[in-house]
Amino acid sequence: MQNGQEPLTHFVRHTAAAVLVGAAALFATVAPQPASAQDKGQENEVVKATYGDWELVCSAAKADECLIRQVGKTADGNKIMVMAVRKLDGVKTKDGKPVPGAIQITTPLGTILRPGVQVKIDANEPRTGLFEICVPAGCVVRDAMSEEFLANLKAGKVAKVTFGVLRQGEVNVDISLKGFTKAFGSL
């Protein structure tokens, strides 16, 4: 996630992207989808455990391909987005700092893409992620996480996610961080 307007040049995007490509099929199943697409996606995944408000989800075909996720809901209870996190082992930045994980946020089709998604953990500075692609399941932001961002998630109470949706305007979703540390540790 980018901090404000500062570009995320210190991450080795190519290495992180290569790792994320392997997880693309599993990440694709976490987006809010029509019922028939959800049923098909659920056949390919297994919810292994729940930690607070986070689920540990693994591929049915490859039990060692896992991520943690939480479905974000609007104030009236409608599912509108999914935040998923995956652990990255052995990935480092150009200057040798570890990249502990990758985050994916999937929002509905009709999301206004230019401003991206803003994530604010408690009183920390907001971070901005730019959309990578829109697919039938929704619009996707994927990025490597810094140690600092991961530490904020582990110590935080709430991640406030903000993005725009056509005809709805700005959407604010609170993602509970209850259980995040245990869930990430289970990966």
Q: What angle do CA 160, 164, 167 make, to 5 degrees?
A: 135
**For position 63, what pLDDT does the model report?**
79
DSSP state of 66: E
Range of the domain at 54: 2-185
Distance of CA 93 to the CA centre of its chain: 20
pTM of the model: 0.78
Tally of domains in the chain: 1
Domain containing 90 — which CATH number? 2.60.40.1880
Could you read off the pLDDT of 151-179 as tens digits, one per residue? Answer: 999 999 999 999 999 998 999 999 999 99
For residue 119, what are its two tokens? 């994530």
What are the two backbone dihedrals, phi and then psi, of residue 75, each rounded to the nearest 5 degrees? -60, -30
